[in-house]
Amino acid sequence: MPRGGDPRFGPDADDSGCPILHVDMDAFFASVEVRRRPELRGRPVVVGGLGPRGVVSSASYEARRYGVRSAMPIMRARALCPDAVYLPPDFTQYTAASRAVMQIFRDFTPLVEPLSLDEAFLDVAGARRLFGPPAAIARLIRERVAAEQGLTCSVGVAPSKFVAKLGSTRAKPDGLLVVPAGRVLEFLHPLPVAALWGVGERAAEALRRLGLNTIGDLAEAPLGMLRRAVGEASATHLHELAWGRDPRRVSPEHVEKSIGAEVTFDADVADSLEIRRALLALAEKVGARLRRAGQVGRTVSLKVRLTDFRTVNRSRTLAVPTDTAREVFDTVWALYTALDPGDRIRLVGVRVEGLAGAAGAPRQLTLGAPERGWREAEAAADAAAARFGRSVIGPASLLGGRDVRRNENPRRP
């Protein structure tokens, strides 16, 4: 359904019974870069990893005309659009822009549920008296984001979260789409099955093999047929969505279940010193994110992807929760040496799970450690990084300048 192509779902459609907004920033990372560099306006801009194994994080609409899409290998993007401007991501800038945009949302309603840096659900049922009906609130939000942040966003207005998200997708770029409560099935049923949440490429292909090409086809299909195609739980979930039933409320408290980071090497690595350095940098990144979020976690996980794309995961649960890079690194390095993969490595990742609030969490000093120790040192490094930039605070400095080769288990191809 092309943007603006059907007046039944245009910005002036009946929005009574449509308290849910889904706001999605347009080509967010690329748009922030263009805002910083106005000379790039009108040119194709691609943000992502610039190495041979990099992936596109964001592409301006000028780049999308050449077929460039998010999650595409950067080398494929360069082949499609060699004249684009290619930039590495700057998450400090994107996070600052996201905070400013989310604050605009919260000026209209406290019921804001961020899904990522560039999108959120809003429940504006309680804001009608101050700001008017939902579509009017959506217009005000779009106007303020454009005027105050120099960015554009697309908004879906609907009775439920699922339909509102579909609406914002079909309003892009820089548009507004309203799905009236009485027309939800008219909107949903012509759409392809791949538009349903939870339907990836494999599931969509399985459904199409059964002749279920649209959401309407799926809605009319017997549940038994769906169960055979996608399993019991997914069949029920998709059947409900296909009939427009999504009872989930906007939840302003988003609780992280885990915090992690990973890196894909430009070339497969067998040198344990290089792997150790990568794990050290990842542990520092995860520790800093934990402290910023005010979280600690008890389970530390290691992810290793080998040259043949096999992925191995190992984890260890600590006696007490942690938010220090030193403890995270010591744990993942012990997991790695015990794993002894014996093959070249494509990717490593570090993750901390089982999160809880840091305030009041039990802490256990390492034997012989001073009363004020590693956590305080890392918190001081966080403050210095906030002022001068993370690049001046290297991972080794956070771990007391320890030789990263300590306890190295040398392996060679």
| Active site residue ranges | 119
**260 contacts 286 by C-beta, under 8 angstroms:** yes
Q: Residue 19 has which token pair? A: 């308290």
Q: Which residues contact 139 (CB under 8 A, 6 or more apart)?
A: 11, 176
Say how far apart CA 413 and CA 405 lie, in whole Å: 18
What is the CB-side half-sphere exposure of residue 135 using CA atoms within 13 A? Answer: 16
- 123 labelled ligand-binding: no
Say how far apart CA 218 and CA 230 lie, in whole Å: 12
3-state helix, strand, coil in the chain (%, to 5): 45, 20, 35
Q: Which residues contact 233 (CB under 8 A, 6 or more apart)?
A: none
Count of CB atoms situated within 10 Å of the CB of 409: 11
> Measuring CA to CA, how many Å separate 9 from each of 13, 14, 53, 134, 168?
6, 8, 41, 14, 11
**If you write DSSP's letter for every residue of 250-268 in order, what string do you get?**
P-S----SEEEEEEEEEEE
- In angstroms and rounded to an integer, the radius of gyration of the C-alpha atoms of the chain is 24
* CA 324-328-332 angle, 5° bins: 170
Strand partners, 155: 23, 176
Within the chain, what is the greatest distance between any pair of CA atoms? 72
**155 contacts 108 by C-beta, under 8 angstroms:** no
| Neighbour order of strands in the sheet with 45-48 | 56-59, 45-48, 85-87
- 217 labelled ligand-binding: no
**If you write DSSP's letter for every residue of 158-176 in order, what string do you get?**
ESSHHHHHHHHHHH-SS-E
**70 contacts 58 by C-beta, under 8 angstroms:** yes
Residue corresponding to tokens 């942040």: 149
**Binding site for Mg(2+), residues?**
24, 118
**Binding site, residues?**
24, 118
